[in-house]
Amino acid sequence: MSLSAQGIPGLPDLTHPQELVQFGTQALQISLLFVVLVMALGIAIALVSFSLRHHKSEQLVFFGEWAIRYSQLLQGLQHLALILILLVTGFFLCTTLGNRYHYWEQAKVAQVVGSVAGDKLEQIAPQVRYIAEEPYSYNTQVDGKIIKVNDTQKISRYLTLASSQIQVKIDKSVDIQNQSLIYLVDYTAEYKVVNLLKNIDRFFFEAPPPYGYTQLSGYKLEQDGTRIKQTNPGDYGFPFRLAPGAETSFKVTYQAQGGPRWVYNAPNQLLSQFRLSAIANFSPVDPASGVVPKYIKVEGNTTQFTWVFDENVSVKNPFGVFTTSRPIGKTGIIPRLLLLAPSLFLWWILLLYLSLPMSLKNIAISGAVFFACILSLTYMARLINAELAWMFISLIFISLTWGLGSNRRASFAAIICTISGAILPVFGLLIPFSGLTLSLAGLLSAVWLAILHWYNWYNLAIED
């Protein structure tokens, strides 16, 4: 995973030991406070009942009424406590999954960015350099007098290449060490040089190897079929002599491997009679930068790009080939869904409470089924389309929800609550029209509750 990949700032992650210990400590403190409050209420009722022990009739009325209320309160607190436990646990589970999914998405984006703008093999166009003497003047002071001195200085100048014929064959492989994509390049180039100068016949042919290579082999330079040996290691400037008006040719060959992009760069040069053929023995592949090749030829799994420039063309940006990949779209959707999943769970449970009699066992099972479906969606979305994955999960979700009802009508009511309170909202967060889908889900929930409780169109007969 890329070191630049970071989780969503401010979200708790239970895979971090420090945050896990902190969460456990806070949960224990809140649980103790909750138990103390319930016990304090029970002790208060007992004390008031004890104070009325001499008034039997008043004691019976007070204790009977408050005992029933306290029993109802305890029962309601059990449901509330269970829902809070499921909600809090689901929240931390979803934030942890959201961070994990965010890490995974960032790693994918970093991998694609690295293949496009990361390491690369950049071949610099060779240059023909010569030393010219040019006159210049400067002022100096001698015996208190300013004297103008005329002198000459040696300046490096460059001769334009008469023609360039380049062919590069590119194969791709995988670096065994870090499992990254690399290019294997076989480079052959022929350059023609014509001496258009009158008084200069000494030149340097500077043909450096590509920048960014991890391995270079078989580097060879030939002049008119004769190999020129390299005198100094790391020095790729080769001296040669060429009479005025004469011409000569150079051939450069090598094999190199490096990053998953190959480009040719000719900065501050005029290209004449230039032809570059880049043959990529793999696909998919696209031309790099904005310099469009003149010819593109595809044969099976091989693609050939050809750039042709006739007379005095200046190219500002490097051009070449790189491996294309499928665009990464819809990033951040699953993390957003995971952050909102506890709210969707609360929405769904509230609909079930307003539609069906819910026991503690049913609440616990419903919470487990809901978050299990969200967990399954999180990991299935890495393999297939998220909307398609949720459609398959929804079928399982609906079939399990059928068991919430004690009869057929109650089961249909549970399915309606599940569709409007869980399935549609989750689906709405996965598609571009989230606002419209969530609005329809909210409208369906409100219409269902109105029909159930106000108009009594759907007579829900519940068997105890």
CA atoms of 75 and 65, how far apart (whole Å): 16
| 18/87 same-domain check | yes
Model pLDDT for residues 56-65, shown as the tens digit of each residue: 555 454 455 5
295 contact partners, CB below 8 Å, separation of at least 6: 304, 305, 306, 308
- The pLDDT confidence band at residue 15, using thresholds 50, 70 and 90, is low
CA atoms of 366 and 341, how far apart (whole Å): 14
| 132/67 same-domain check | no
- Mean pLDDT of the 207-232 span: 89
Closest CA to 434 of 342, 326, 327, 330: 330
Model pLDDT for residues 331-385, shown as the tens digit of each residue: 667 888 888 888 888 898 888 888 888 888 888 898 889 989 988 888 888 888 8
- The pLDDT confidence band at residue 274, using thresholds 50, 70 and 90, is very high
Looking at mean pLDDT, say which of 105-109, 142-146, 438-442 comes out highest. 438-442
| 164/99 same-domain check | no
φ/ψ bin of 142: left (φ > 0), alpha (ψ from -120 to 50), beta (otherwise): beta
Cis peptide before 260 (omega within 30 of 0): no
Lowest-pLDDT range of 23-37, 133-147, 348-362, 372-386: 23-37
Cβ(305)–Cβ(287) below 8 Å = yes
CA atoms of 333 and 432, how far apart (whole Å): 10
Residue after which a domain boundary falls, among 323, 338, 364 = 323
C-alpha distances in Å from residue 444, one per residue of 343, 356, 396, 441, 457: 17, 17, 21, 5, 15
Q: pLDDT value at position 35?
A: 67
C-alpha distances in Å from residue 212, one per residue of 167, 217, 233, 455: 19, 14, 18, 75
Reduce the DSSP state of residue 58 to 3 states and report it.
helix
78 contact partners, CB below 8 Å, separation of at least 6: 360
| 62/176 same-domain check | no
Alpha-carbon radius of gyration of the chain: 39
Q: pLDDT value at position 1?
A: 39
| 203/336 same-domain check | no
- The pLDDT confidence band at residue 133, using thresholds 50, 70 and 90, is confident
**Unique residue bearing structure tokens 């949960």:** 27
Dig out the tokens for 407 from the structure. Answer: 């009869």
Domain with 349 in it: 329-464
Span between the terminal Cα atoms of the chain, in Å: 55
What is the pTM assigned to this prediction? 0.56
DSSP 243-282: -TT-EEEEEEEEEEEESSEEEEE-TT--B-SEEEEEEESS
CA atoms of 185 and 277, how far apart (whole Å): 13
| 319/174 same-domain check | yes
Residue after which a domain boundary falls, among 263, 297, 323 = 323
Model pLDDT for residues 168-213, shown as the tens digit of each residue: 999 988 776 666 778 899 999 999 999 988 888 889 999 999 988 8
Residue after which a domain boundary falls, among 282, 304, 323 = 323
Q: pLDDT value at position 233?
A: 77
| 363/405 same-domain check | yes
| 225/262 same-domain check | yes
| 227/302 same-domain check | yes
Beta bridge partners of 139: 148
| 2/101 same-domain check | yes
Q: pLDDT value at position 431?
A: 82
Is the pLDDT at 71 greater than 50? The verdict is yes
Domain count for the chain, please give it: 3
